[in-house]
């Protein structure tokens, strides 16, 4: 893998020059691990969004426990983080936390959330990820926001990558329509994680694929750099992340 195509360099470029596509609605852009599960039944997804149309960039770590309960750790409040779109699917209040990212080499990322999580991810290109990245980089913006094209791409990408169902457009748990554009992708070659000091074992697909509304989470790890488009928040049609957080806090009290 040439140095300028290494995931570390691509991620650092996103941090150094955050940008968003033009257009109406809401946009986020950045990089992260689309999702990865372990033998313990725990599932994690990392979002390092270097730019967002509704506020500053943020980092978020999604955790699904073995029983299927979701918690989001974030550097920002729910209205300005992933809970803006997925809060309705969460079982526990979101947790404000520092999320530290450290590149151990060009292809290995370490993720730490305080004393709670220590997660290392080793990445690599495969023939399929190289091909899909080349195609993604060549696609104009209008194709990345076309529901017809994204539907076709998702149905092709799932079997090619061996990650289960892939849907690049649909409805989020809070009600907004989404269009996801993982423009550059790499496969997760290996990963280690400890959660509250507990070793989670080797990466392993879940028995039943997890999803967040119409967004299906991959059964094998994928790292990406890209962007996503969402409907602008409408308090009549969409669930408020702040209100959902209050409900979860009251239930937990």
What was the pLDDT predicted at 253? 87
pTM of the predicted model as reported, rounded to 2 decimal places: 0.96
Phi, psi of 187 (to 5 degrees): -90, 150
pLDDT the model gives residue 24: 96
**Rg of the chain's alpha carbons, rounded to an integer?**
17
What whole-number distance in Å separates Cα of residue 243 and Cα of residue 145? 29
Domains of the chain, start order? 3-232 (2.40.400)
State the chain's mean pLDDT as an integer: 97
pLDDT at 2 over 60: no
pLDDT bin (cut points 50, 70, 90) of residue 139 is: very high
How many angstroms separate the CA atoms of 134 and 128, rounded? Answer: 10
What the block records as the tokens of 31 is 């990089």
Cβ atoms of 179 and 228 closer than 8 Å: yes
Mean pLDDT of 216-225: 98
Nearest to 229 by CA among 142, 161, 164: 142
What is the per-residue DSSP string for 169-189? EEE-TTS-EEEEEEEEEEEEE
Query: Taking 70 as the threshold, does the pLDDT of residue 134 lie above it?
Result: yes
| Contact (CB, 8 A) for 40 and 66 | yes
Lowest mean pLDDT among 2-6, 72-76, 158-162, 247-251: 2-6
Q: What is the rounded CA–CA span in Å between residue 57 and residue 53?
A: 9
């Amino acid at each position: 893998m040439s140095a300028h195509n290494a995931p570390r360099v691509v991620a650092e470029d996103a941090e150094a020059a955050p940008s968003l596509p033009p257009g109406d609605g809401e946009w986020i852009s950045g990089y992260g691990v689309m999702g990865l599960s372990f033998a313990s039944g725990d599932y994690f997804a990392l979002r390092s969004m270097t730019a967002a149309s509704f506020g500053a960039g943020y980092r978020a770590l999604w955790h699904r426990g073995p029983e299927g309960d979701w918690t989001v750790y974030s550097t920002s409040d729910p209205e300005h983080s992933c809970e803006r779109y997925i809060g309705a699917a969460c079982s526990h209040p979101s947790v404000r936390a520092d999320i530290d990212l450290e590149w151990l080499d060009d292809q290995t990322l370490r993720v730490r959330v305080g004393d709670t999580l220590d997660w290392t991810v080793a990445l690599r290109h495969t023939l399929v990820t190289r091909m899909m990245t080349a195609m993604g980089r060549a696609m104009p913006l209008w194709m990345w926001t076309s529901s017809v094209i994204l539907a076709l791409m998702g149905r092709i990408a799932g079997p090619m990558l061996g990650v289960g169902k892939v849907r690049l457009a649909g409805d989020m748990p809070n009600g907004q329509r989404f269009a996801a554009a993982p423009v550059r992708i790499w496969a997760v070659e290996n990963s280690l994680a400890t959660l509250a000091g507990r070793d989670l074992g080797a990466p392993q697909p879940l028995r039943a694929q997890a999803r967040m509304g119409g967004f299906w989470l991959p059964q094998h790890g994928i790292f990406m750099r890209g962007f996503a488009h969402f409907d602008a928040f409408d308090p009549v049609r969409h669930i408020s992340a702040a209100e959902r957080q209050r409900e979860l806090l009251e239930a937990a009290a």
